[in-house]
A and B are shown apart, each in its own frame.
Chain A
Amino acid sequence: MNTSNLAEALNLGFEKKAVTHQQKTSLTLDKVNIRYGTFLAVKDISLAIYERQVTAFIGPSGCGKSTVLRSINRMNDMIRGASIVGSVLFNGYDLYAKDVDPVLVRRKIGMVFQKPNPFPKSIYENIAWGARINGFKGDYDELVETSLRSAALWEEVKDKLKQNALRLSGGQQQRLCIARTIAVQPEVILMDEPASALDPIATGKIEELIQELKASYTIIIVTHNMGQASRVSDHTAFFMVDEQRTGYLQEYAPTEQLFLNPRHKKTEEYISGKFG
């Protein structure tokens, strides 16, 4: 199968990616198994996430991609009955070690959710609050402006910073949520289907933003939109689910390679839309 023909046939939007610098590992998952109660949600997940790259998690619904994502910033702790075996290392440190404070983890590894959920406060306060409770001692005005600029939202809201954030459009709210996450200066940003609740134009803006953000942050994005994964990510992890409804990692490769030259049949089938 001719590579470029497949790309055309699948209508994937590839850009010639620049040769990346030497890839340093930011996060390592090693044989991660997560249970909800007795139900095994995902088994033996092992992969390395590279610093300042965008990694996409794709796969059919129910395959556990969000579960794995949540385990990285210890949001699974919030779910009753969730338990994890295996290790999640961030810059070499085991995030699930006994003396680890999950609150601090979540500052370093931020999260943007599927449905935009800004705080019911002003735009300014949305960004300032996270910083404040983490003990930020600098100039708040500057922080707010920087964060909003990084999220490509400054121009649109600079005159109405005191306005209630809920009055923004969906796309703007989501960018606000990104700005809010950036404000606490994380190293990693996790995104759980960040554009699935948005219209195509807003989605495009988010995708552009991700490309800009990757210069400063490691990004992991869960998406069910393969076009998005191919447009936006440097590496893609394809998750599958077995007969017991347990998720596992089927294939993990640089994005171009996974989409144009998938090694597993299931990967190819999923990409070409045979199932979803």
Chain B
Amino acid sequence: MHEQTAHPFGKRKRIHERVIETTLFLSAMLSILITVGIAFILIRESYLFFSDPDVRLLDFLTGKKWQPMIGLFGFLPLLNATLTTSIIAMALGIPIGLFVAIYLSEYASDRSRGILKPILEVLAGIPTIVYGYFALTFMTPLLRSIFGETTVEIYNTASAGLVMGILVLPMIATMAEDAISAVPKELRLASYALGGTKIETTFRVVIPAAMSGLSATFLLALSRAIGETMIVALAAGAGPKLTANPFEAAETITGYIVRISGGDVSYNSIDYNSIFALGLVLFLITFTLNLTSRKISSLFHQEYD
């Protein structure tokens, strides 16, 4: 057996390399830190909120009035407005987005696709504040002229919801198209070989096959709509109101947060704490939707990879 002393392949110190690796590792850890930070801040401030004598958790979750002035903290009006705008957004965004996706993947020529995809990209790149402006200056007057100025208030959730639908439209179209294109060609060919028409193939074979990818898309879009702020801040209204009428003004969770924090709020007031409590709820809702979406889409990849 040889003595292994002084052979020419001795490990160099290469501290340089270790330092770099450690620095990079720490950068990556920062992302964990951010998540922890978000969770920590939201929970801590929410705790302060809920430990205020005026606030009771049950009332928070089920109460129908949000009026901090008189100590009422029922969050249903805010939740209701958020859901109203989001559902309207989905009602517009999902069908149109899906149809555009189907057109893009099954019917469009390369030239059409070359025009459409950039258009979708441009739409996706427009800041939400511009959509908010659009809601206020175009959509609301439009609704008011169609349904009458007495039915439709100047601020209303329908207008915000519809424009939100336009906002998520490119996202839905692009992601749905990815999901549909990922369905193997063989499935389509099998359907055609049996004498199926194009539309039958699309609806009976392709869409069901892409269903998990599509569901993931819709959940992600819903999460986006729920978390959207500027459109509702401009067009939906200020002041929480529990109403089923989308033509009335109502404030969403995000709208409320932005209104309160944009004003003069002192750090130790209940108003300050309330926006974090609401932020926590918002985070939990969108986090659940995102996680579910991701789970579903990884299921999808398992099927076809």
Contact = CB atoms under 8 A, between A and B. Distances in A.
14 contacts: A89-B2, A92-B2, A93-B2, A93-B7, A94-B4, A97-B4, A99-B11, A101-B9, A101-B10, A101-B11, A101-B12, A104-B8, A104-B9, A104-B10
B2 to A, nearest CB: 6
Interface string A199-211: 0000000000000
Interface residues on A, range: 10 to 19
Nearest to B17: A103
Contacts of B4: 93-94, 97, 99
A193 B7 CA distance: 31
A100 B2 contact: no
Interface in B137-180: none
A163 B8 CA distance: 36
Contacts of A100: 7, 9-11
Interface string B1-39: 010100111111010000000000000000000000000
A48 interface: no
B2 A95 contact: no
Interface in A87-115: 89, 92-95, 97, 99-101, 103-105, 108
Nearest to A101: B11
Nearest to B7: A93
Contacts of A108: 8-9
Contacts of A94: 2, 4
Interface string B213-229: 00000000000000000
B8 A93 contact: yes
Given A95-B9, A103-B12, 20 more contacts: A92-B2, A93-B2, A93-B4, A94-B2, A94-B4, A97-B4, A97-B7, A97-B9, A99-B10, A99-B11, A100-B7, A100-B9, A100-B10, A100-B11, A101-B9, A101-B10, A101-B14, A104-B8, A104-B9, A105-B9
A94 B2 CA distance: 9
Interface in B22-79: none
B257 to A, nearest CB: 46
A220 to B, nearest CB: 19
Interface string B248-273: 00000000000000000000000000
A90 B34 CA distance: 49
Contacts of A92: 2
Given A93-B7, A97-B7, A104 B12 contact: yes
A105 B12 CA distance: 12
Contacts of A101: 9-12, 14
